[in-house]
Amino acid sequence: MNEQLQAALLSILNSTISAATVAKDFLLAEIPEVIRQLLIWKAVESGIWFGLGVVLTALSVFVLTKAVKFWKAGYEKMDAAMFCSVATVLSGGCGICFTFTNLTWLKILIAPKLYLIEYAASLVK
């Protein structure tokens, strides 16, 4: 009985070791692809926010210049022009914030290893 138990335990131990070896080999083969996909995802996500910030900033500058033209021309409905101006300045501020706080795509492009170290450190926190 004892020999059967030892044989079963040895069989289980060997299959566990071989499964762990296969899993290790699989992970070692797939880690570069996972890292590449993570970098692409984070760069695209940051690029979208950066692009939104650029569009918001450009749109706010365009609307603000139109509002200033109306104001200089003595436009009769100054309330609408003032409202547009205030809304444009606020959206422009948001656009500038989006633009300058979402430079992760640039960090990934210039120094991907640095980004990965910082990303791993943020996961540990």
Residue 83 located in a structural domain: yes
Q: How does pLDDT run across 28-47, given as a tens digit for each residue?
A: 888 889 889 999 999 999 88
Q: Is residue 21 situated within a structural domain?
A: no
Query: Is 67 a member of any domain?
Result: yes
**Within-domain flag for 25:** no
Crossing angle for the helix pair 2-72 and 112-124, nearest 10 degrees? 110
Confidence of residue 77 (pLDDT cuts 50, 70, 90): low
Instruction: Report if residue 90 sits inside a domain.
Output: yes
- Confidence (pTM): 0.65
| Interacting residues of 75 by C-beta distance below 8 A, sequence separation 6+ | 81
Q: Is residue 84 part of a domain?
A: yes
Rg over alpha carbons for the chain, rounded to the nearest Å, is: 29
Percent of the chain with pLDDT over 90: 12
Asked, for residue 82, whether it belongs to a domain, the answer is yes
- Structural domains of the chain, count: 1
Residue 75 has pLDDT above 80, yes or no: no
Exposure of 82 in the CB half-sphere (CA atoms within 13 A)? 5
Domain that holds residue 35: 30-124
Residue 3 lies in a domain: no
- Burial (CB count <10 Å: 0-12, 13-18, 19+), residue 105: buried
